[in-house]
Chains A and B, each alone.
Chain A
């Protein structure tokens, strides 16, 4: 292990620190994060109570879920359009499913078994047979996944469909014995609806979705995200006092939440 590590530029150059800080504020489309969260559902029926407790203690909860208003909206609408895709992609066989697993399985840092990752160079070196398979993985091929008739769709289309709620009936049919999957899809639909509403400036609709969520899934998977959305909706509808109280409670309970910065900004912005 080396000892001499140069002082990081952010500590010696305020301008660079400013650039980096701005860069830290960029966030991925919220819908994408929710889609990824929904992957956990492919592993097992969700245990929402425990999940929530875990978040509470660990909390580092990726803010990203709420992060991107604009991008989220865009992704959301794409998701809707991708609604029908679930039928095809849920059953679509993935190209060479074992290609990505080829690597030295014990080494966590070599997921594809390639040596050094010199970006473009690696692309060129990548064996051609492997290239098309890398981006597609089917849950059915996953050793870790329980036997499950519902494949995680390959790539984004199926996942989008899932997020859009279009996949709901399909999930129901496929998983009649696992009610939690059904509620999960409903939870996801509600959180998506709430976010989409607030992104379009429709605080009342957002509050309705939030209210329904909190009523039905008090300790749901997205409880944290929903609370953040509720605070946003409160601010947006001018209920600053309530919003601030909730914000303070949330910050007190989860000071390290990745949503914290966003909440603080909201409070700050509404302070005057």
Chain B
């Protein structure tokens, strides 16, 4: 794993290849020129900023917590760039994001199920009709509501699998729990979610039917 990541980084090998422990790899990477590092950081920001931001939103953190947490997350990335293995950025970012946001949110700051309205959508002037925007906003709210109704630990797994489309092993890595645990939480979450979605449909149909 270390070898692969070292190989994919365009880092001059100043320290020799013979020792492959994490420390030397890290040191070697640290020798990369500053501007390569700066570019790498920018690439990570461009590729992942919005991804992590949406991820935290979906976990139900309040918008201001999400905004702040993601900002802080990238300060952390700046600081620990060498620990962010190429190809494993998302795992690092998600794991760190969850921790930062959780600590930031503290108790009672999390969105309450159902009633909390997510941040306003981000309309692009002229890009979409107001009707479409409204429809999308409704869809987001519904998704949020359904997600918030899931038990927390199941929700995290559910969001990562069903929305972020991560694999079970990836999820296990981020959460640092066994694959089996992820599987069982996922199973429970899917069951619960489907049931809630079905209830929501039945409710909507009834209302429409009236």
Listed in ascending order, the chain A residues whose CB lies under 8 Å from chain B are 1-2, 5-6, 8-10, 13, 15-16, 18-29, 32-33, 35-37, 39-47, 50-51, 54-55, 58, 60-65, 67-72, 75, 100-101, 105-106, 108-112, 114-120, 122-124, 126, 130-131, 134-137, 139, 141-146, 152, 155-156, 159, 198-199, 201, 221, 232, 235-236, 258, 262, 265-266, 269-270
Contact = CB atoms under 8 A, between A and B. Distances in A.
A70 B120 contact: yes
B79 A144 contact: yes
Nearest to A47: B35
Nearest to B64: A156
A176 B118 CA distance: 44
Contacts of B118: 26
Given A109-B173, A145-B79, A19 B143 contact: yes
B78 A51 contact: no
The 4 A-B residue pairs with the shortest CB-CB distance, nearest first, are: A44-B34, A64-B50, A22-B139, A62-B46
Contact of A1 (B96, B169, B190): B169
B45 A54 contact: no
Contacts of B104: 134-135
B193 A9 contact: yes
A156 B186 contact: no
Contacts of B120: 70-71
Given A62-B45, A144-B30, A221-B42, 5 more contacts: A16-B197, A62-B49, A108-B95, A137-B79, A144-B37
B176 to A, nearest CB: 5
Contacts of B208: none
A130 B38 CA distance: 29
Contact of A26 (B57, B102, B201): B57
B49 A64 contact: yes
Interface of B: 22-23, 26, 30, 33-35, 37-39, 41-43, 45-51, 53-54, 57-59, 66-72, 74-85, 88, 91-92, 95-96, 98-100, 102-107, 110, 118-129, 135-137, 139-140, 142-143, 146, 152-153, 156, 161-163, 165, 167-169, 173-177, 179, 183, 186-187, 190, 193-194, 197, 201
Contacts of A68: 122
Given A20-B163, A28-B49, A47-B35, A108 B79 contact: no
A8 B105 CA distance: 30
B124 A69 contact: yes
B35 A111 contact: no
Contacts of A70: 120-123
30 contacts: A9-B194, A23-B139, A25-B122, A26-B118, A26-B140, A28-B54, A43-B41, A51-B39, A54-B39, A58-B43, A62-B46, A68-B122, A69-B123, A70-B123, A71-B119, A71-B122, A106-B22, A108-B88, A112-B100, A116-B176, A119-B110, A123-B106, A124-B107, A126-B103, A135-B100, A136-B72, A139-B78, A142-B78, A262-B127, A266-B124
